[in-house]
Amino acid sequence: MSWGRFRGRRLVLRDGEGEREVIECAAVMKADMKREVSASPEVGLSREITWAVAGRSYLHYGQEYPYGSRFVMITGAGRDEVDTLTRIVSDYFEPLEDAELLDAVVCAPEVEQRRAVLVRAGIGAPVSCEGAFLALITEAMRDQNARIREGGLWAAMYALWPELLPAVMELTVDPDKLLRAQADALVRYMRREGITP
């Protein structure tokens, strides 16, 4: 099933908001559930639900794996409809703002916390490249700590900007074997999908 040519920004939900609240939102929108999947860690999700909403658009709920960040997103056939529905859903949920996503990474005191909020920042990154997010994700992929580099790579996987490809390519020669393999897979995917600078 096609979810449409256009996608809106992923809106990262605040603590305390999750699947139940998104189901309530879908009911308010008189949406029709089309898909429900649990445990798809190979695509970075532990939970995903999709509803058909107004016109030819879709509301998606996802819970990221392994950190559990929750988000909503609109996709559809028309850019204007996707943008309008994204604004409506954003007003409904009041998701984390850019400054909150970025500051959480800068302020994270421990490696695992920083990895988790890096991934969350990648999920919530704008649809098109934005300087502060680009710098943060790129810097993470060049960090001394392999765990942080991997968190940066996962953030890049969600952002999927062509501008991130050079830093991802650097990781294909990383000393860490698993990180090299993940970076190589992401480079191949980006090239296959035409996500190149």
DSSP conformation letters of the chain: ----SEE---EEPPTT-SHHHHHHHHHHTT-EEEEEEEEEGGGTEEEEEEEEETTTEEEEEEEETTT--EEEEEEES-HHHHHHHHHHHHHHH----HHHHHHHHHH--SHHHHHHHHHHHHHHS-SS--HHHHHHHHHHHT-SSHHHHHHHHHHHHHH--GGGHHHHHHGGG-SSHHHHHHHHHHHHHHHHTT---
Q: What domains can be seen in the chain, in order of their start residue?
A: 6-93 (3.30.310), 98-192 (1.25.10.10)
Which pTM was predicted?
0.93
Residue 189 is predicted with a pLDDT of 94
- The 10s digit of each residue's pLDDT in 94-147 is 999 999 999 999 999 999 999 999 999 999 999 999 999 999 999 999 999 999
CB of 187 closer than 8 Å to CB of 168:
yes
Residue 44 is predicted with a pLDDT of 67
Distances (CA, A) of 196 to 66, 82, 119, 189: 27, 24, 21, 10
Q: Which amino acid is at 51?
A: W
| Residue stretches of the chain with pLDDT short of 50 | 1
